[in-house]
């Protein structure tokens, strides 16, 4: 693989996680503690559950990538019904994403085809990065949707795309 393309892939992946994380951070700042833990029905996830889940997933992947250990309790991420305040979740998310983005940026491009063991699977690092960022994006969409419902407002992330262009 061309090192330049591989380095671009790593930078794009790190940057994408940071952008998505900033949107979740913004959502957490708009929600009350009660809204953060609200569920429409018991089998659904609250915004807080989704953040805990994303942090667990990213920490697990970062640990595999950096050959360190992380004991994840995935079920607990979803079982929680209260606990962390919005600011605590914001700090946890920021620290987790910062560590992952740093790991991506420090990863030698030549390691992308290497196979690592994660979640009872053997996968190439590049495939795992792609899946991890995609997973993060999907749950970010859920957090944004829930925040729009709970806050009753447009979050304005794409307002610049809908503005009419001035006539010449």
DSSP string, 49-118: HHHHHHHHHHHHHHHHHTT------HHHHHH--S---HHHHHHHHHHHHHHHHHHHHHS-GGGTT-EEEE
Instruction: State the first-to-last Cα distance of the chain, in angstroms, to the nearest integer.
Output: 46
Which segment of 14-28, 65-79, 121-135, 145-159 scores lowest on mean pLDDT? 65-79
The 10s digit of each residue's pLDDT in 78-97 is 888 888 999 999 999 999 99
pTM of the model: 0.90
Task: State the pLDDT at residue 47.
Answer: 97
CA geometry: angle at 73 spanning 11 and 59, to 5°? 15
With 70 as the cut, is the pLDDT of residue 160 above it? no
User: Cβ contacts of residue 87 below 8 Å, gap of 6+?
Assistant: none
Tell me the three state secondary structure of residue 122: strand
Given this model, what pLDDT does residue 71 score? 82
Predicted confidence band of residue 43 (pLDDT cuts 50, 70, 90):
confident
Q: What is the share, in percent, of the chain residues with pLDDT greater than 90?
A: 70
Per-residue pLDDT averaged across 111-137, rounded? 93
Average pLDDT over residues 91-108: 97
The ranges assigned to domains in the chain are: 3-162
- Name the token pair of 59: 């920490």
pLDDT of residue 167: 66
Q: Which pair of tokens denotes residue 157? A: 């992330």
Q: In sequence order, what are the residues at sequence separation of 6 or more whose Cβ sits closer than 8 angstroms to the Cβ of residue 168?
A: none
CATH topology of domain 3-162: 1.20.120
35 falls in which pLDDT band (50, 70, 90)? very high
1 has pLDDT over 60? no
- The Cα 20–Cα 146 span in angstroms is 15
Stretch 56-80: mean pLDDT: 86
């Amino acid at each position: 693989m061309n090192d330049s393309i591989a380095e671009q892939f790593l930078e794009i992946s790190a940057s994408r996680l940071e952008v998505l994380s900033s949107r979740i951070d913004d959502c957490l700042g708009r929600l009350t503690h009660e809204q953060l833990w609200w569920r429409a029905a018991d089998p659904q996830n609250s915004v807080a559950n989704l953040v805990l889940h994303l942090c667990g997933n990213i920490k697990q992947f970062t640990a595999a990538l950096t050959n360190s250990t992380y004991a994840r309790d995935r079920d607990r991420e979803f079982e929680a019904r209260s606990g962390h305040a919005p600011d605590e979740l914001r700090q946890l998310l920021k620290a987790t994403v910062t560590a992952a983005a740093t790991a991506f940026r420090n990863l030698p491009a030549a390691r992308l085809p290497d196979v690592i063991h994660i979640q009872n699977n053997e996968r190439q690092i590049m495939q795992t990065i792609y899946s991890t960022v995609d997973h993060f994006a999907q749950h970010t969409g859920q957090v944004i949707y829930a925040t729009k419902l709970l806050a009753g407002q447009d979050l304005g992330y794409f307002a610049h795309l809908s503005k009419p262009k001035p006539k010449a």
